Structure 1
Amino acid sequence: MNKFVLASIVTAAFAMPAAAADYKIMAPASPGGGWDQTARAMQTSMQDEKIAGNVQVVNVPGAGGTIGLAQFVNQAKGDPTQLIVGGYVMVGAILTNKSPVTLDQVTPIARLTGEYEALVVPAKSDIKDMAGLVEKLKADPGSVSWGGGSAGGTDHITAGLIAKAVGVDPTKVNYIAFSGGGEALAAILGGQVTAGISGYGEFESQIKAGELRLIGISSDEKIDGIDAPTFKEAGVDVSIQNWRMIAAAPGLSDEQKAAVTADIEKMATSAAWTKILADKGWANTFLAGDAFTAQLKKDTEATSAILKDIGLVK
């Protein structure tokens, strides 16, 4: 081979774009819930925008994400192609489950979204509004069952904060935890619980179909397009936002972390991701780098204080 042909081959090789990475994203919950929806939204966005080659989603449910987290920490070490979805719920579950594995053992990449909590009852319920629910709760706290996600998660914390705000002992809240959004939704629709709490997006289609009655939303101010009062407007001084994050495997080099972060930043500013946020009613709360690591530490400390306050952690 002459030197001109060799030079041409070398030049062409350097001119070729690097192949997009493949990723495996763990949703540490059953299909249908917020983490699963987040992972699949990432899958769609990263593939549609050619940010990644093949993106696979795996579900590992149980214990507020701590079973999946333990598996991820033990099996993904040093692998930059593996990611895990987490968030506020996982922070609480780590504390309430006394998990031996914590978020200190993964590589935080970015906070992605925020979503307010929706409080619903079945359409056939005799509870018409927040005042009706509060009346029942004050009369007999145990008679009001709340269906939502994992123990110690955002849904559970919200129920406890509502009870505390109206003068009911939050430790008497009759909370029934489900491992996935699909299971919780079935129980709420079937009238197996008095009320349901989750992100608005998980109830939206059933609310619009008239199968569920939305009696409150946990935002500070009324949200355009959502026909319900805030908890505060309904006389319950509580506001809370669930946030979701993406983390990478433990033991990554600075270069590997930077490459993963760059891909996630591309996704978070892409047209596909922006459309999904709008369609699902998720707020864009993107925060990456050292700022996110610092915020995660603050959120963990604040969640610990809330869980102690409502009797879920001693």
Structure 2
Amino acid sequence: MKVTRVTAAAAVTVALVALSACSDTNDTSSGDKPKAGDKKSQAKSLNRLEIIAPAAPGSGWDQTARAVQDVMRAGSLVKAPEVKNVPGASGTVALAQVAPQKGKEEVWIASGLAMMSGVISNGTDVTLDDLTPLARLVGEYEVIVTPKDSPYKSVEDLFKAIKKDPKSVAIAGGSAGSADHIYIGLLAKHFGVKPADVNYVPYSGGGEATTAILGGKVQAGISGLSEFSAQVKEGKMKGLLISSEKPVEGVEFAQTGADVNKDLAFQNWRSMMAPADISDAVKAQYVDTLTKMHDSQGWKDALAKNAWNDNFIAGDEFGTWLKEENTRVQGVLDELGLSKK
């Protein structure tokens, strides 16, 4: 793929998640076969379902997978949903396990921006093209936190210290090339710091990063809002920045992304996918099941509980968006010097 150089502001812009809502469609496939995502098709309850969370317990992917599990079970959409954690390398370890299982049913894998960037930054042989897109579920703001007794009162203070002595400021985050890593890189560029100079310490799950921050092993941490919100609310961590355009109700941060620069508003996204080469009928059933889940009160409650943004799109619409997003993310990682593809 041709490498495209972009400015720091443009890099931020292309990294933003498109927040278009899932539009209804009245199109039907040829014959009587329902089109994936068509509101007219009727999803039958699945007997069992293995949901792969491609990160450790406590991570955003784990939380998303378990929320799907809980709502599916409570709504009788799946009789026996189970979550399996397969952490490592921005989700690409799990991807490498699922991708070869072409045509296998009753298996979903949580995916998202981190896995997409992990494929590009790690140069893996398998990509998201080796899966079947089902639905984009949620978007989540990135947050930057410090231990409660940290001397840093703003993200400017943090990056001023990094610029002075990069090795003295360790920042805990997700795997290399993850959404956490991308956003730190974009902030670094904004503050005149080379992204490669940031002392970024990758962890496979939010639980490990939380322990490192609370234990004083690092000077700051970055992750999705849901992973650190409880600690910020309880005063165990200090919230420096949330990557939203406006303050988010219920949790206090010193700044929003837009406070720093309007182009620094940013969202991570997470989705559900299945192995490649499943039948059209099975894909339609999966998409309809996820659509029913999305429309349920249980899912609305899960969104509120985890402070997730409802960015649902499904079926072919999601597949088209996914290709566009991959091009955008490739450009960002090229600019940050993290691309191996």
Structure 1 length-normalised TM: 0.91
Cα displacement string for residues 82-102 of structure 1 (whole angstroms, at most 9, x for unaligned residues): 000010000110011111111
- Say whether the 8 Å CA contact 2:123–2:339 is kept in structure 1: no
- Say whether the 8 Å CA contact 2:233–2:252 is kept in structure 1: no
Q: Shift in Å at residue 209 of structure 1?
A: 1.4
Q: Is 1:45 paired with 2:71?
A: yes
Residue 289 of structure 2, aligned match among 263, 277, 290: 263
Mapped partners of 2:236, 2:333: distance in 1? 32
Q: Shift in Å at residue 222 of structure 1?
A: 2.3
Q: Shift in Å at residue 220 of structure 1?
A: 2.1
Q: Is 1:291 paired with 2:302?
A: no
Residue 221 of structure 1, aligned match among 246, 251, 267: 246
| Higher RCO (CA 8 Å, separation ≥ 6 residues) | 2
Mapped partners of 1:127, 1:171: distance in 2? 22
Q: Shift in Å at residue 79 of structure 1?
A: 2.0
Q: Shift in Å at residue 78 of structure 1?
A: 1.3
Match of 1:149 in 2: 174
Q: Matches of residues 60-79 of structure 1 in structure 2 within 5 Å?
A: 60-74=86-100, 76-79=101-104
Report which stretch shifted further, 223-232 or 299-308.
Answer: 223-232
Q: Matches of residues 10-159 of structure 1 in structure 2 within 5 Å?
A: 20-74=46-100, 76-159=101-184
Cα displacement string for residues 168-214 of structure 1 (whole angstroms, at most 9, x for unaligned residues): 11221111111111111111111111110001110011111111000
- Say whether the 8 Å CA contact 1:83–1:246 is kept in structure 2: yes
Residue 180 of structure 1, aligned match among 205, 210, 214: 205
Match of 1:304 in 2: 330
Mapped partners of 2:263, 2:77: distance in 1? 43
Cα displacement string for residues 135-171 of structure 1 (whole angstroms, at most 9, x for unaligned residues): 2122123322111001001100111111100111122
Mapped partners of 1:142, 1:232: distance in 2? 27
Match of 2:216 in 1: 191
- Say whether the 8 Å CA contact 1:268–1:274 is kept in structure 2: yes
Q: Between Structure 1 and Structure 2, how many residues are aligned?
A: 297
Aligned residue for 2:257, secondary structure, equals coil
Q: Shift in Å at residue 18 of structure 1?
A: 5.6
The residue type equivalent to 1:159 in the other structure is I
Structure 1 residues 83 and 19, CA, compared in 2 at 3 Å: closer, same or farther? Answer: closer
Match of 1:10 in 2: none
The residue type equivalent to 2:322 in the other structure is L
Q: Shift in Å at residue 236 of structure 1?
A: 8.2
Aligned residue for 1:151, secondary structure, equals coil
The residue type equivalent to 1:35 in the other structure is W
How much identity, in percent, do the aligned residues show? 43
Q: Shift in Å at residue 19 of structure 1?
A: 5.3
Cα displacement string for residues 222-249 of structure 1 (whole angstroms, at most 9, x for unaligned residues): 2223322203314685221000000011
Mapped partners of 1:105, 1:237: distance in 2? 32
Residue 194 of structure 2, aligned match among 169, 185, 193: 169
Q: Shift in Å at residue 251 of structure 1?
A: 1.2
Structure 1 residues 191 and 235, CA, compared in 2 at 3 Å: closer, same or farther? Answer: farther
Mapped partners of 1:210, 1:65: distance in 2? 31
Mapped partners of 1:220, 1:129: distance in 2? 17
- Say whether the 8 Å CA contact 2:44–2:77 is kept in structure 1: no
Q: Is 1:276 paired with 2:309?
A: no
- Say whether the 8 Å CA contact 1:146–1:159 is kept in structure 2: no
Structure 2 length-normalised TM: 0.84
Match of 1:9 in 2: none
Q: Unaligned stretches of 5+ in structure 1? A: 1-16
Mapped partners of 1:157, 1:60: distance in 2? 22
Match of 1:253 in 2: 279
Aligned residue for 1:100, secondary structure, equals coil
